[in-house]
Structure 1
Amino acid sequence: MRRDSFGCAVAMVMFAGCSTVFEPQQCAVDKDCGGGLVCELRGGDPVCVHPEDAPLVIGQSAPISGTNQALGTGMKLGIELAFEEQNALGGIRGRKLELDFRDDAYTPELAEQAARVLVDAKAMTTAPRCPTTTTPAVAGQEPISSTGLERGPKAVLAVLGSVGTPTMVRSAPVVIETGTIFFGAFTGASTILRDDKAATCRSYIFNVRASYAQEARATMEFFKKRGVVDHRHVISFDQNDSFGQAGYDGLVQGYKEVIGPFPGSADPTTPIVRFRYTRNDDASVPAQADAAESYLASLLTGNTSVHNVGIMMTDTYGAGAQFIHELRTWQYANDSQQGTLDKANRLKLHFSNVSFVGPNALSERLVALGSVATPSGQRPFTDSVLVSQVVPNYQSDSSEVIASYNRLIAMKGVQPGFTSLEGYISTRVFIAGLLAHQGPFTPDALVKTLEQLPDLSLGLGASSGFSPANHQYSNSVWGTIIEPDGSFRNLYFWSQGQPIQFFE
């Protein structure tokens, strides 16, 4: 009997001891905890836990294999630089930032699969919360789901730095349907990200970069300054999917705003002539280049004028470099057309690529192609090739964010680039939101914090910042021209509501 009483007493003491050590302390914000603990949800209740047990896991889906792998590799690098930098500073009050990465090879089907895994999507029996779940953003595609989807226990806090428009239109609906944040996608498309297709689910979407429509507007202002006078002297080279369509729609709108309405003679469906290649298939480019050459020849026929032609390219680096090479080679070829059309002297071509192109990869390919013989001597294939950037020029800008990026790149021993810079800047903005947030980390709670994020003085323009009514951080575009050695020189700066400013 005594043994039983003793055992009971020991058990009570042990239970009491465990209760003292492990009884969870209630909290509302991190500072309620003390002792280096942080406030997180456990079993639905906000309690104090050790930060090592509360890492912030962020997902990313991007291509690091396939034709356009440089785009995903760059974005992933930029995110990792920012995560490593912040973790070295103690993370988010002790919480480490972790990246759960999936390679989608710039393929819509793989991107959707990756999104489902990252948010641990579980099918529900209830109706979807978002219109984009049942109504595809691209006509002809299958719905994401006929029922609602919920976040599973292994879901990431947010999906960051998704790469591409055709991939985004399949991944973003999955992410936002589950009530997960879709932040800083590497695309300027309006569809889903900047329009009303997602209805109230738009609250989970945050863009950092300027849109393709804004890039197109800046591009049209540049073309006008270079003597482009009408719609016949504007060409679109674009990818034959939702990415290309986003750029084309922006170009048409930009033309109306900068030049004016299209004349009655313009095609009502395609008022600006366009030549479209197939995604992930650079072999589809030569046929489009041939068609563009025929069109340019028609401009020269029957007159002796000099023609300034603006070519906006909603493309990726491989296709873009090939198209430029084909057109320049044709323009300066010593063929029968040269004698009748004098295309070498009468055509002034201005190539402007959107930021998604992969500026550094494009530059490297054009430099590798060398130069073409012209009546006035050798001309590099980089000549008159621009990229409308949505981040400052890391080769010349002196802002703090650029200095930090260049320092981290040098420490890592890798090459800098505009794509990794965009990944780094987007992640810096995201981390600022994490640092500002004080309570347990849930997507819904973090949305409210992000909506109060002001201009962080990162050098992205005076109108930077988020608000409940504005989920796009930056509205600025930097026009850069590729030099013969592959470097980038600032040509112009454009910001929403301001006239274009040239540096030369």
Structure 2
Amino acid sequence: MRVRVGKQVVITFVLALSGCSTDFTSQTCSVDSDCGDGLVCELRDQTPVCIAAADAPIMLGHHSALSGTNQALGTNMKLGIELAIKEKNEAGGIRGREIKLEYRDDVYDPATAEAAARALVDVQVMNNEAPHCPTTANPPVAPAISDKRLERGPNAVLAMLGNVGTPTMVRAAPVVVETGTVFFGAFTGAATILRDTACGECKKYIFNVRASYSQEARATLEFFKRKQVGGSALNYKNMISFDQNDTYGQAGYDGLVDAYKELIGNFPGSANPTNPIARFRYTRGDETTTGPAIAGAKAYLNQLLIDQSGTQTVGIMMTDTYGVGDQFIRAIRDWQFDSDQAQNKATRLKLYFSNVSFVGPNALAERLTTAPTTYTTPNGPVAYADGVVVSQVVPNYQSDTSDVVIRYNQLIAASGVQPSFTSLEGYIAGRIFIAGLEKNVGPFTPESLVKALEGLPDLGLGIGATAGFAADSHQYSQSVWGTQLQADGKFKNLYFWSQDIPIQFFE
């Protein structure tokens, strides 16, 4: 008779004969190369051990406006990031680790953005401890984020990547850095939190890729000076700011004022001490509020013609988004060439509209080239789009031949989606972040990632002569590309500006 022996009995018998223990101990490690094929070094219960790469995905977080009035900004930024992630994953990931992006729709709303950040870093409240970062209890915009310390939870993402907007950032970034999580490549050029010392020691977790709004404003002012706005002395009275009535608009306006002081000098005592450059504002997310701003700008320009003689060249810096930008440009052009020519505004006013990069350049171009596409002048119809300037923080994908732009154009074409400056910015931010991941050779933690990113040199992506990170420099690019819209909605190169390098004009 055959006796059937259970599998468990056989295993137990063999182990007993061999003197082996049934307990399994993972191999410890310091870096991935300490482990065998298909294995990587990661923390488990705070101990670095070798595990299967397939069991160690790199989780990243992102939130932006994926719906609502400004959804083109969020969807395009997310698209560019996903192109970079997909490209890397198809090449094997980070030594076998898959990169994954967990995202939330914040509809460009500060409170929703804060909630998204809390969820993505799996916030744990330490009830008996005070906050670690100054911006937690005292953020730039009230109320307080928390009066208690916040820590990363077990389901926290490794880093937040490419979040969109200033008003959303000032509520989300304090949450992220308080928990000791990396906040990387935000789609905003604001100085507040991202480029100042407001969050104290926690600023080490913040890495910017793009140039700042202050740098964009400086480039814009140099363009205005070349066009002799207000004459060769760049009269401040011949400049206008059209901006969003929140931290985003304030960031652009502050950059414009500071750039004037750097380039020209102090404002005269007769200037308004709070707002020395005339400004007209609208409410975020509400395109119906541009009416009062448009009316105010018209009245100001009309008074300028009354007070001054001859032709008046005026520079208008726009810290806006594409919908309201389209409305403002159309309304001012229509007014300039309407039937009321008591001040000969059609011939005496020479206007230059210059938008900052956050406007959503492609969405603005699409709006301006939607019927009606032209306004009527004494010399015939002129396209609303023609001559509108956008200061960009990435090269012109329509003409640039750098390796990163060529590769972006290949990937975006393969995806079947239209290219844009915003998705190019997302792709570049993703590429730079992934280079930091590659440089991290041991277990992934926010602290190890900070060290890896600070060691990133210029990657030769073609985004300016002074690119790279360092321990004392957490902004990768210092360059601005001026572009000018043409009647057909395409962009031509206007100038190139980089920190401490003379501006180059292409006209």
TM-score by length of 1: 0.96
Closer, same or farther in 2 for the Cα pair 1:381/1:17, shift >3 Å? farther
Closer, same or farther in 2 for the Cα pair 1:7/1:461, shift >3 Å? closer
Helix, strand or coil for the counterpart of 2:260? helix
Determine which of 225, 230, 241 is the counterpart of 1:236: 241
Aligned to 1:48: 50
Aligned to 1:197: 198
**Cα deviations by residue, 1:233-253 (Å, 9 ceiling, x for unpaired):** 010000000000000000000
Pairwise CA RMSD: 1.8
**Cα deviations by residue, 1:31-50 (Å, 9 ceiling, x for unpaired):** 00022210000111000011
Q: How does 1:340-419 map to 2 (within 5 A)?
A: 340-368=342-370, 369-419=372-422
Following the alignment from structure 1 to structure 2, what is the Cα–Cα distance between the partners of residues 503 and 14?
78
Determine which of 412, 419, 440 is the counterpart of 2:443: 440
Closer, same or farther in 2 for the Cα pair 1:324/1:21, shift >3 Å? farther
Aligned to 2:189: 188
Helix, strand or coil for the counterpart of 1:90? coil
Helix, strand or coil for the counterpart of 2:369? helix
8 A Cα contact 1:286 1:326, kept in partner: no
- Give the ranges of 4+ consecutive aligned residues of structure 1 lying more than 2 Å apart after TM superposition: 6-23
Helix, strand or coil for the counterpart of 1:255? helix
Following the alignment from structure 1 to structure 2, what is the Cα–Cα distance between the partners of residues 431 and 416?
21
Helix, strand or coil for the counterpart of 2:143? coil
Following the alignment from structure 2 to structure 1, what is the Cα–Cα distance between the partners of residues 251 and 281?
13
Helix, strand or coil for the counterpart of 1:500? strand
Aligned partner of 2:151: which letter?
A: E
Aligned to 1:129: 132
Aligned to 2:475: 472
Q: CA deviation at 1:287?
A: 1.4
Aligned to 1:159: 160
Helix, strand or coil for the counterpart of 1:109? helix
Q: Please, which runs of 5 or more residues in structure 1 have no aligned partner?
A: 1-5
8 A Cα contact 2:15 2:22, kept in partner: no
Aligned to 2:333: 328
Q: CA deviation at 1:11?
A: 2.8
Closer, same or farther in 2 for the Cα pair 1:96/1:21, shift >3 Å? farther
Aligned partner of 2:325: which letter?
A: G
Following the alignment from structure 2 to structure 1, what is the Cα–Cα distance between the partners of residues 179 and 168?
18
Following the alignment from structure 1 to structure 2, what is the Cα–Cα distance between the partners of residues 10 and 204?
50
Closer, same or farther in 2 for the Cα pair 1:400/1:143, shift >3 Å? same
Q: Please, which runs of 5 or more residues in structure 2 have no aligned partner?
A: 1-6
Q: Could you tell me the percent identity over the aligned residues?
A: 62
Instruction: Single out whichever of 251-260 and 318-327 deviates more from structure 2.
Output: 251-260
Q: How does 1:1-20 map to 2 (within 5 A)?
A: 10-11=11-12, 13=14
Aligned to 1:297: 302
Aligned partner of 1:237: which letter?
A: F
Aligned to 2:3: none
Q: CA deviation at 1:304?
A: 3.2
8 A Cα contact 1:151 1:178, kept in partner: yes
Helix, strand or coil for the counterpart of 1:72? helix
8 A Cα contact 1:390 1:476, kept in partner: yes
Closer, same or farther in 2 for the Cα pair 1:51/1:346, shift >3 Å? same
Q: CA deviation at 1:383?
A: 2.5
Aligned to 1:460: 463
Closer, same or farther in 2 for the Cα pair 1:159/1:219, shift >3 Å? same
**Cα deviations by residue, 1:99-143 (Å, 9 ceiling, x for unpaired):** 0010000000000000000000010021111000000212xx110
The number of residues matched between the two structures is 496
Q: CA deviation at 1:260?
A: 1.9
Helix, strand or coil for the counterpart of 1:301? helix
Closer, same or farther in 2 for the Cα pair 1:20/1:78, shift >3 Å? farther
Aligned to 1:212: 213
**Cα deviations by residue, 1:381-429 (Å, 9 ceiling, x for unpaired):** 0122100000000000000000110000010000000000000000100
Q: CA deviation at 1:261?
A: 1.4
Aligned to 2:4: none
